[in-house]
């Protein structure tokens, strides 16, 4: 008797998702609770577990299809896996499911799978495209995703490290051969259409709504990172030994933001209709890089947390984002956002707020620049540009500048973070 595989509850107010990837193929043996498919919601990717052990039957939904909560996407057949799928059912042995004319094609497909190493490993569509594009063997690449699966970063890093990309010979039809000549010196003019993921569609929609609704403005300042860098250098080993996590820059900026938000509460507020909602707590949304794009999990009650708590939370978010195990609850809420484009080499940017929040702090790369000191001398100092994008309907220029000055003061003199000044 077959058991239905249904789309699980996706979270509050989420009624549908997009099938992003099949992790198991028809005929594969599956264990109870083993992931068999990946769903993409507006914010996170979720895995669909097998309701019981058995053999995965036919896929009832294709990759890219939209499915609702409770929809049946596959069935689990009782039995021992691939051996059963090969034809142990007496009824199925007398009634072939495929027309006889497909027998030869099946043999050709099997041969092609042998020639194509990417077909023997479960890969997402994006990863499979990269593997075939570079002509690499995915079995030789160490996967860093969930359950050891390959990510785009894994393939790109493998190629970057010097892996050769041999030309792949494939026939366009049976018996036909394609010359293995290199492309023309001018390059090719190929085009590829790829459907936007649900996450990317949601990001695009929300950012456009922010531009259409909020009166966006960005104010800049710069900060001397000397004191913070010296503090990290002096205490990083002791900090890691005691707390089991590295002392990063984000802990300093998160704590500095908490102080600044206390002094300038409108930056931590939001507009709700004709009312302004002020928060006496600080829930900081932190932009984290994930395989499918940036996500913004929330550090809740950051004003009550220690440096170690902040760094541990951010480290956990980063790991779970990479594994695809962040939940809807991790993303919900947030009163203020910090986005660190500096890790990608950004010198300066104008970040867009994350509605319904009213402001976002953008951090950028640290570089040595000449600075005129109070005594008139010129020194090379490690400087960083700060950018505060905000909703001018709620936050005035004076408040935006004051907020950035508070951040600057706390970073250039970290003692302020200890004495709440």
Residues annotated as catalytic are 392, 396
Name the nearest CA neighbour of 335 among 350, 354, 321: 354
Cis peptide bond N-terminal to 36, omega within 30: no
Q: E-strand spans in 12-69?
A: 16-22, 29-30, 35-40, 45-49, 54-56, 66-68
Ranges of H-type helices in 324-362: 328-331
Phi and psi dihedrals of 59, rounded to 5?
-70, 125
* DSSP, res 275: E
- Rounded to the nearest 10 degrees, the angle between the axes of helix 249-263 and helix 226-243 is 110
Rounded to whole angstroms, the Cα distance separating 421 from 419 reads: 6
**If you count them, how many residues does the chain have?**
421
Strand order, beta sheet including 35-40: 45-49, 35-40, 16-22, 66-68
């Amino acid at each position: 008797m077959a058991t239905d595989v249904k789309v699980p509850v996706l979270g509050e107010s989420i009624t549908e998702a997009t099938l992003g990837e099949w992790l198991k193929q028809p005929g594969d043996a599956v264990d109870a609770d083993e992931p068999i498919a990946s769903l993409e919601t507006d914010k996170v990717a979720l895995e669909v577990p097998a309701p019981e052990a058995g053999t995965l039957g036919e896929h009832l939904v294709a990759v890219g299809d939209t499915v609702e909560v409770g929809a049946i996407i596959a069935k689990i057949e009782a039995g021992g896996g691939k051996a059963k799928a090969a034809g142990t059912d007496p009824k199925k042995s007398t009634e072939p499911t495929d027309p006889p004319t497909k027998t030869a094609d099946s043999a050709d497909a099997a041969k092609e799978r042998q020639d194509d190493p990417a077909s023997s490993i479960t890969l997402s569509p994006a990863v499979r495209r990269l593997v075939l594009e570079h002509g690499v063997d995915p079995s030789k690449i160490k996967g860093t995703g969930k359950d050891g699966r390959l990510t785009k970063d894994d393939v790109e890093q493998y190629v970057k490290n010097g892996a050769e990309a041999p030309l792949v010979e494939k026939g366009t039809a049976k018996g036909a051969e394609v010359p293995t000549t290199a492309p023309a010196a001018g390059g090719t003019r190929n085009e590829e259409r790829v459907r936007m993921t649900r996450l990317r569609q949601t990001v695009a929609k929300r950012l456009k709504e922010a531009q259409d609704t909020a009166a966006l403005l960005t104010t800049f300042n710069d900060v001397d990172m000397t004191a913070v860098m010296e503090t990290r250098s002096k205490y990083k080993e002791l900090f890691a030994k005691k707390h089991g996590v590295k002392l990063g820059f984000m802990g300093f900026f998160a704590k500095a933001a908490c102080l600044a938000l206390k002094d300038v509460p409108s930056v931590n507020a939001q507009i709700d209709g004709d009312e302004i909602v002020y928060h006496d707590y600080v829930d900081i949304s932190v932009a984290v890089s994930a395989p499918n794009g940036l996500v913004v999990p929330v550090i809740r009650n950051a004003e009550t947390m220690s440096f170690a708590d902040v760094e541990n939370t951010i480290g956990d978010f980063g790991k779970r984002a990479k594994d695809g195990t962040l939940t809807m609850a991790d993303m919900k809420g947030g009163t203020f956002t910090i986005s660190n484009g500096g890790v990608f080499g950004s010198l300066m940017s104008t970040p867009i707020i994350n509605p319904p929040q009213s402001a976002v702090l953008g951090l950028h790369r640290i570089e040595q620049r000449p600075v005129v000191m109070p005594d008139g001398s010129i020194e090379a100092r490690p400087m960083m540009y700060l950018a505060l994008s905000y909703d001018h309907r709620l936050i005035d220029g004076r408040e935006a500048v004051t907020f950035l000055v508070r951040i600057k003061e706390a970073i250039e003199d970290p003692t302020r973070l200890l004495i709440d000044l």
